[in-house]
């Protein structure tokens, strides 16, 4: 560019920054809404969350129907492709999931080199990022390619969780069992034993219930990253980082730790009284959207009770019931999805610090569906901020600063 052209461009820039538009042309400031509560940023056909009626729909189907009747593989297909699969479609989808239940050798090397006390969610976030190096379609963000990558990640997340847990326990990872369903194989790879049918049904229901839930923090994070046209693995890695926080996915772990801390049903009331007296946050209660009962909690309540009896350890379920009633003495707060899932996952023998990775193993289907939807009708997500700092300050020389 010539010197004359540069000078002309600078003159135009200076004129633009010094000119003042008439007051009538200054647009009003957009309203500030802390936490974006109530702000609609996305239109979606994936899931519908209705707080006043405590309703959750996946692609128009009520979660109560899916929780009682559907396999997770059907729900993952529904989220990714927009309709329930027929027998041929489901058979093909299952085949592709089974074919991808493995990890590249360098991934196992990484898992063996991690510090013994690595938080599993940090392992999972790093593991998904590492898997991107070995995905043959990593830079292709077409819907078809992203669906294929999503299938690989749905298959691989449980493998990552199980392999890491066994390695840190001094055991060798177990190869997947192609005869088992997604939920059954997840339990098998953790323990090396074919799981009880009730355990499989409970974990399958958990995976179904957690597969998607509107514009929560991790899903919004995934869509923000996808809106830059970054690849699926980048979006899922970012979603995992958001899910790690105790106010999102980590609440299930905190709930179980609360039950273990109380330890005895006779201590529940006094513990709750003290918690309210000291304004302590009690995890597993209340929801940003649901002001009454979380619709997912009903099904998890059922499985927590059933498994508690099955393993002859109903104490934690009974404590959960009393805890819910005790909290109502102080404030109208109801259990959310994390509350009953805590004791249910505990009864399944899943380590407490793997609760949130199990959440992620389910939600990866919903995250992927949202990434695909974002690609199809993309606009860069770029909200405004409102500056509230000082005005008209000036630069001072270093020698003049106190």
- pLDDT tens for each residue of 69-128: 999 999 999 999 999 999 999 999 999 999 999 999 999 999 999 998 999 999 999 999
- Secondary structure letter of residue 24 according to DSSP: G
**71 and 207 in contact (C-beta within 8 Å)?**
no
Q: Cα–Cα distance between 189 and 145 in angstroms, integer?
A: 28
pLDDT tens-place string over residues 171-182: 999 999 999 999
Residues in the chain where the model's pLDDT stays below 70: 1-24, 26, 286
- Residues 66/75, Cβ–Cβ less than 8 Å: yes
Element (H, E) at 62: strand 61-62
CB 344 within 8 Å of CB 301 = no
State the pLDDT at residue 3. Answer: 57
CATH architecture of 251-346: Orthogonal Bundle (1.10)
Rounded-to-integer distance, Cα 223 and Cα 375, Å: 9
Q: How many helical (H) and strand (E) elements, i.e. helices and strands, does the chain have?
A: 17, 3
Q: Among the residues of 82-210, which ranges form H helices? A: 87-99, 105-113, 120-131, 143-168, 182-191, 197-209
Element (H, E) at 217: helix 217-227
E strand or H helix that includes residue 50: strand 47-50
Token pair in block for residue 43: 């239109």
* Residues 401, 254 contacting (CB under 8 angstroms): no
Give me the residue spans of the domains in the chain.
47-245+351-376, 251-346
117: DSSP letter: T
Predicted pLDDT of residue 166: 97
Q: What is the pLDDT of residue 11?
A: 57
CATH number for the domain running over 47-245+351-376 = 1.10.580.10
Q: What is the DSSP letter of 354?
A: G
Q: Which residues have a catalytic role annotated?
A: 287, 338
Q: Do domains 47-245+351-376 and 251-346 have the same CATH topology?
A: no
The answer to whether 359 and 240 have CB atoms below 8 angstroms apart is no
Tell me the angle at which helices 355-376 and 251-262 cross, rounded to the nearest 10 degrees: 160
């Amino acid at each position: 560019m010539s010197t004359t052209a540069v000078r002309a461009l600078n003159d135009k820039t200076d004129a633009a920054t010094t000119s003042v538009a008439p007051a009538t042309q200054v647009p009003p400031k957009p309203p500030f809404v802390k936490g974006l509560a109530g702000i609609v940023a996305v239109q979606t056909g994936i899931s519908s969350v209705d707080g006043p009626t405590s309703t959750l729909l996946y692609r128009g189907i009520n979660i109560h129907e899916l929780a009682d009747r559907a396999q997770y593989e059907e729900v993952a297909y529904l989220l990714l492709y927009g309709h329930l699969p027929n027998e041929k479609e489901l058979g093909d989808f299952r085949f592709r999931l089974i074919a991808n239940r493995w990890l590249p050798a360098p991934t196992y090397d990484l898992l063996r080199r991690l510090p013994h006390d690595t938080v599993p969610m940090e392992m999972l976030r790093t593991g998904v990022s590492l898997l991107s190096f070995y995905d043959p379609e990593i830079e292709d963000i077409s819907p078809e390619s992203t669906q294929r990558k999503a299938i690989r990640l749905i298959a691989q997340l449980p493998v990552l969780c199980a392999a890491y847990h066994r390695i840190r326990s001094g055991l060798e990872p177990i190869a997947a069992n192609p005869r088992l369903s997604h939920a059954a194989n997840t339990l098998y790879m953790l323990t090396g034993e074919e799981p009880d049918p009730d355990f499989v049904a409970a974990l399958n229901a958990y995976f179904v219930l957690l597969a998607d839930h509107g514009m929560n923090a991790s899903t919004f994070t995934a869509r923000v990253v996808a809106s830059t046209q970054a690849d699926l693995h980048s979006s899922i890695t970012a979603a995992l980082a958001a899910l790690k926080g105790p106010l999102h996915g980590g609440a299930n772990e905190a709930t179980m730790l609360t039950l273990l801390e109380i330890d005895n049903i006779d201590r529940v009331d006094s513990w709750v009284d003290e918690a309210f007296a000291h304004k302590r946050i009690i995890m597993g209660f209340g929801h940003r959207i649901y002001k009454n009962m979380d619709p997912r909690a009903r099904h998890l309540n059922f499985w927590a009770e059933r498994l508690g009896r099955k393993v002859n350890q109903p104490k934690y379920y009974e404590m959960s019931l009393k805890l819910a009633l005790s909290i109502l003495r102080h404030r109208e707060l109801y259990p959310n999805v994390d509350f009953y899932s805590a004791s249910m996952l505990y009864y399944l023998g899943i380590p407490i610090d793997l609760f949130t990775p199990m959440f992620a193993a389910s939600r990866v289907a919903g995250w992927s569906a949202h990434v695909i939807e974002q690609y199809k009708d993309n606009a860069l997500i770029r909200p405004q901020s409102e500056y509230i700092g000082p005005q008209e300050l000036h630069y001072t020389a270093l020698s003049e600063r106190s």
